[in-house]
Structure 1
Amino acid sequence: MSWHWQSHLRSGAGPVDTAELGLDQRFPTQGDAESWLGEVYPDLLQAGVEAVSLYEADRLVYGPMRLEPEVG
């Protein structure tokens, strides 16, 4: 099975090149997918990605998960 992220864009973010951001990647394990996200989430936020969902093939594992840190 392969794991991948689906992006959820911030309202009014404009067009986002998901391939350029690496969101078209497939990962062999859930851990690999989560490690990658941990490294690149600041870039995703800056590009207008508000949240992501993790899929194993076509099955939603979790999400949407907001990328911005909780305040409070």
Structure 2
Amino acid sequence: MRWRYEDESGTPVTGPDVTFPDQDTAEAWFGDAWASLLATGVAQVVLLDGDTELYGPMSLHPPA
């Protein structure tokens, strides 16, 4: 599993190239990393299992 990093329009952007053995590990990592991702220009993420989208896009911005 891995995260796809996107800008505000949904265009993929560069982010950490990290893979995870399962969804729980991916989500735990994201919980620690989301603020630094946002600071580097990532606006939203999609969780992927191979090429299959499990969920997302999920915004990194707080709700308005």
Q: TM-score, normalised by structure 1?
A: 0.77
Task: Answer yes or no: is the 8 Å Cα contact 1:9–1:48 preserved in 2.
Answer: yes
Q: Based on CA coordinates, which of the two structures has the bigger radius of gyration?
A: 1
Residues 1:59 and 2:57 are matched in the alignment: no
Aligned length: 61
Matched residue SS, 2:44: strand
**Structure 2 residue aligned with 1:25, among 18, 22, 42?**
18
| Structure 1 residue ranges (4+ consecutive) displaced by more than 6 angstroms after TM superposition | none
The equivalent of 1:69 in structure 2 is 62
Identity of aligned residues (%): 39
* 1:46 paired residue among 33, 39, 46: 39
Give the drift of 1:29. 0.6
TM-score, normalising length: structure 2: 0.85
Gapped regions of structure 2 (runs ≥ 5): none
